[in-house]
Structure 1
Amino acid sequence: MENVVLIVHLILALALIGVVLLQRSEGGGLGMGGGGGGVMSGRAAATALGKVTWGLAGAFIVTSIALTIIAANNSAGGSVLDRLTATPEVEDSATGDALGESLLPPSAGDGPVVPLAD
């Protein structure tokens, strides 16, 4: 169920971006004027695109709330911080020491002892 709502949410987001980009810039924010023409008149197109934008925005908000409710129901009731403290340490197989225990580089005395030949 969560995947279906998430896919619908992503499609709504892309459609909302597309509809907003199709709208005419009335304020001239980028210095571009909206060219006239087309099948619909300028005011009717703004009204139709405005209604589509409001509809997509409403559906986007509904899917956002639905995803929040689904995520809250799927959570185990625990905090993410509680799960971080319960992680086991990984041991190095060669030395048996816990990895990340020391951040210093190994010194000469840490290696194996090799007897010198006479």
Structure 2
Amino acid sequence: MENIVLTIHLILALCLIGVVLLQRSEGGGLGMGGGGGTMSARGAATALGKMTWGLAIAFICTSIWLTVIAAQNTSDSSVLDRLGTSGAPVTDGDQSPSVPELGGDLLPPPTAAPDASLPPRAE
């Protein structure tokens, strides 16, 4: 369901961008304005304005809907629950504790044991 709403949301965003770019610049700041077409300037502005309002309302509704869906999906769990690990690591005698594989190639290399031939540092 979330993927469907997200797809609709993205389509609405692209359509809203297109409709806003089609509108005539009334301030004259960015464009030359102009150009006669089959529709009058006032009629085109009204139709594009209504379309912009409709797309904007639909965009806001899908934004709220996606927020509600995301809140429902994350309300009952935490990040630690998703890892699938239980509290403290279990040790078996001399074996090292079990560590989940969460990207072992990103972890720093293990440190070597201190050399026994060196005298202890004075502090």
Shorter-chain TM-score above 0.5: yes
Q: Deviations over 1:95-117 (max 9, x none)?
A: xxxx4266x8x8xx7xxxxxxxx
Instruction: Measure, in 2, the Cα distance between the counterparts of 1:20 and 1:35.
Output: 16
Task: Give the CA deviation at 1:80.
Answer: 4.4
Which residue in the other structure is 1:100 paired with? Answer: 108
Q: Unmatched 5+ residue regions in structure 1? A: 91-98, 110-118
Residue aligning to 2:36: 37
Aligned residues: 94
Cα distance between partner residues in 1 of 2:56 and 2:67: 17
Which residue is equivalent to 1:66?
65
User: Which residue in the other structure is 2:92 paired with?
Assistant: none
Corresponding residue of 1:23: 23
- Amino-acid identity (%): 69
Question: In structure 2, how many angstroms separate the alpha carbons of the residues matched to 1:38 and 1:44?
Answer: 11
- Structure 1: how far apart are the matches of 2:78 and 2:38? 55
Task: Report deviation, 1:76.
Answer: 4.6
Separation in structure 2 between the aligned mates of residue 23 and residue 80 of structure 1, nearest angstrom: 45
TM-score by length of 2: 0.64
**1: CA distance, partners of 2:14 / 2:67:** 20
Q: CA deviation at 1:81?
A: 7.7
Bigger CA drift: 5-14 or 72-81? 72-81
Matched residue SS, 1:77: coil
User: Aligned Cα RMSD in Å?
Assistant: 2.5
1:36 CA drift (Å): 2.9
Name whichever of 75-84 and 32-41 sits farther off: 75-84
Are the structure 2 counterparts of residues 61 and 81 from structure 1 closer, same or farther at C-alpha, using a change threshold of 3 Å? farther
The structural deviation recorded for 1:77 is: 2.8
